[in-house]
Amino acid sequence: MSVEINGRKFRILIESSQISKKVSELGKKITQDYRDKDLVIICVLKGGLIFLADLVRQIEIEAEIDFIWASSYKDSMEAGEIELLTDIRIPIENRDVLLVEDLIDSGATLDFIRQHILSKHPKSLKICALIRKNKTPKANIYIDYLGFEIGDKFIVGYGTDFAEHGRNLPDIYVIDN
């Protein structure tokens, strides 16, 4: 099935059933790993919103949730400067923080957010990302909980956007060149 968003054609890359299966596996792992910990989940807006909502319902231990909003991609497929738009409100010093991200491309946004979180002195910091592009330099960004690795293609859906369109699509689509 294909859809048209902003005049560009997209086709399904990852179906919602595959996503739910993966999200439930990730939730199980996180539940095991954080059983005796003081878990604070920080969702990276806006792209991480849908993933977060599904993931937290697969985590069977207590967790606090907060949001951080940093943006690099402005209104299109062009990368720009990274800026912090909204900071977290929950204190995280000496607590076990899990960052939840939709998508890691160059890793620049994650690196920026990670440094920012680390400056607040959490006890631990781990990363959970639904998708990583295979061109992401693996040396400097370790992803503790990863859903899918994809090629260097532009995607949309399940929280990720094309110029703010398509976040509500239940499946993940890839641009059809």
Q: Residues with catalytic annotation? A: 105
Q: Tell me which stretch binds Mg ion (CB under 5 A): 39-47, 85-93, 107-115, 144-152.
A: 39-47
For residue 96, give the nearest of 119, 115, 121 by alpha carbon.
121
Cβ atoms of 39 and 63 closer than 8 Å: yes
DSSP per position, 112-123: HHHHHHHTT--S
Say whether residue 106 binds ligand IMP (CB under 6 A): yes
State the nearest-atom distance from the C-beta of 106 to ligand IMP, in Å. Answer: 3
Binders of ligand IMP among 137-156, rule CB under 6 A? Answer: 154-156
Rg (CA), the chain: 16
Cβ atoms of 10 and 173 closer than 8 Å: yes
The owner of tokens 């878990």 is: 39
Q: Which two tokens stand for residue 123?
A: 């006890």
Say whether residue 96 binds ligand IMP (CB under 6 A): no
Q: Tell me which stretch binds Mg ion (CB under 5 A): 49-57, 70-78, 83-91, 107-115.
A: 70-78
Binders of ligand IMP among 21-60, rule CB under 6 A? Answer: 47
State the nearest-atom distance from the C-beta of 168 to Mg ion, in Å. Answer: 14
Q: Which is nearer to Mg ion, 51 or 73 (CB)?
A: 73
State the nearest-atom distance from the C-beta of 109 to ligand IMP, in Å. Answer: 3
- Can you state the angle between helices 16-33 and 49-56, rounded to 10 degrees? 60
74: number of Cβ within 10 Å: 12
Q: Which is nearer to ligand IMP, 34 or 160 (CB)?
A: 160
Return the amino acid letter for 96: D
Say whether residue 171 binds ligand IMP (CB under 6 A): no
Where on the chain is the footprint of ligand IMP (CB under 6 A)?
47, 72-73, 79, 101-110, 154-156, 160-161
